[in-house]
Amino acid sequence: MADTQELIARINALALRSNRSKSTLSRLLFGNGKRIDEIEAGGSITLTTYQRAAEALAELEQTAAAGAHAPHSSRYPEGRAAFPHKHLLGIAGLAPHEILFLLDEAEQWVELNRQSHKRDNRLAGLTIINAFFENSTRTLLSFEIAGKRLGADVVNMHAAQSSVKKGETLIDTALTLNAMRSDAIVIRHGSSGAVRLIADKVDCPVLNAGDGQHEHPTQGLLDALTIRRALRERGVTEPFSGLKVVICGDVLHSRVARSNVHCLTTLGADVRVCAPPALMPAGIEQLKVTAFHDFDAALEGAEVVMMLRLQNERMQGSFVPSPAEYRHLYGLTPERLSRAAPDALVMHPGPMNRGVEIDSIVADLPERSLITTQVEMGVAMRMACLDVLTRQPRGVEGWQ
């Protein structure tokens, strides 16, 4: 048997330092939310269990220590003042500390999702409706997994099976959803501003899963989380300050680009956007970015390269001559990537068009491609958003 007094002392210290409950740490370390209480009450554990828990605890302590150096990490207001918004409709308008608060909240869910027992029941008894008026695979699946891992009852509503196809107005749909007494609604819609319209008509928190060409806030947040974790692993304590990020592709139609621009510039990054003239929004410099039409020039010294796909479904007419010519001018090839910083990170929100905006050899680069990590961070980030936005209606202390 192992002496557990020192281990328990470290766990209690981490709980205070990281603002995590002991039950959460117990699940992360032992796969059982009550195990720490049992040990404190005199229960014993085997040497093997002790060693595994000690190794996992060391990793959590390291993550918490890195987080202590993040900008604004010690300046969060108490309780609901840390994130006072009822809805998450966009990144624009959020303060740096509010963004960082959500990133820090997601860290615990990254750890939980890597355990064999991926369950926390803090949203047990709550109903979350995923109302997707646009087709989606990865975003819908990510929100569904996030809600279920938090213990909520998750219902997916697809527009193809909804009354919208029968002529029901968006406002009537919103009123119908509200009458069902859902506790949170996640909405994706093809029209910019549609999510805000629904949010104004319902009583529960609303999360924007992408509206037209406006924003996709959880994608911007998960991308920031992905970047922060990757750079911290390299020993960078303030990852966003002056970070050179290039966003290249169909910027005109990309709500992902807009959310990333708002998120990264708010956190202090130097963001460059690159696109053919026909796919560059007019006046985008007003968003505190530098616009390029020459991809090679944009890549000079870049530390993060984020590629966007051509959104052909949103294009009316021909915006590019051909996929082959687009790749020639704007595709991320190994040769073109060499213009960026030697260890530049590669990202893509998906789905990818391999051989068009990005070559497979680049998309699959070990140590540098974060594309699958983005998918992983998406679940954790959406868990954090669902948790935070439902704290006030759940009556969590300090959030009323």
Listing DSSP states for 197-238 in one string gives HHHTT-SS-EEEEEETTTB-HHHHHHHHHHHHHHHHHTT-SS
φ/ψ of residue 351, rounded to 5: -75, 150
CB 11 within 8 A of CB 29: yes
- Residue 52 has what pLDDT? 84
Radius of gyration of the chain (CA): 22
- Residue 119 has what pLDDT? 92
Q: What percent of the chain has pLDDT over 70?
A: 90
**Residue at token pair 């909405």:** 187
**Is pLDDT of 294 > 80?**
yes
Average pLDDT, the chain: 90
**How far is 370 from 230, CA to CA, in rounded Å?**
8
**How far is 78 from 260, CA to CA, in rounded Å?**
27
- Residue 309 has what pLDDT? 92
pLDDT tens readout for residues 205-243: 999 999 999 999 999 999 999 999 999 999 998 999 999
CA-based end-to-end distance of the chain: 45
Buried b (16+ CB within 10 A) or exposed e, 280-306: bbeebeebebebbeebeebbeebbbbb
Q: Which tokens sit at 243?
A: 């970070």
Q: Which tokens sit at 134?
A: 């646009």
DSSP 303-336: SEEEE----GGG-SS-SSS-HHHHHHHH-B-HHH
Q: Which tokens sit at 400?
A: 């009323």
Task: Kindly report the pTM of this predicted structure.
Answer: 0.82
- Report residue 32's pLDDT band, with 50, 70 and 90 as the boundaries: confident
- Residue 295 has what pLDDT? 98
- Residue 70 has what pLDDT? 44
- Report residue 71's pLDDT band, with 50, 70 and 90 as the boundaries: very low
**How far is 238 from 54, CA to CA, in rounded Å?**
28
- Report residue 245's pLDDT band, with 50, 70 and 90 as the boundaries: very high
**How far is 83 from 95, CA to CA, in rounded Å?**
9
* Mean pLDDT of the region 332-336: 98
**How far is 172 from 183, CA to CA, in rounded Å?**
18
* Mean pLDDT of the region 384-399: 96
* Mean pLDDT of the region 328-352: 97
Q: Checking phi first, is residue 157 left (phi over 0); if not, alpha (psi -120 to 50) or beta?
A: beta
- Residue 377 has what pLDDT? 98
pLDDT tens readout for residues 2-27: 678 888 888 887 876 665 667 778 87
User: Nearest-CA neighbor of 152 among 123, 177, 173?
Assistant: 123
- Report residue 73's pLDDT band, with 50, 70 and 90 as the boundaries: very low
CB atoms within 10 A of CB 30: 20
Residue type for 266, please? T
Q: What percent of the chain has pLDDT over 90?
A: 70
Residue 308: C-alpha distances to residues 243, 251, 271, 274, 383 (Å): 19, 8, 15, 10, 25
Is the peptide bond prior to 321 cis by the omega test (within 30 degrees of 0)? no
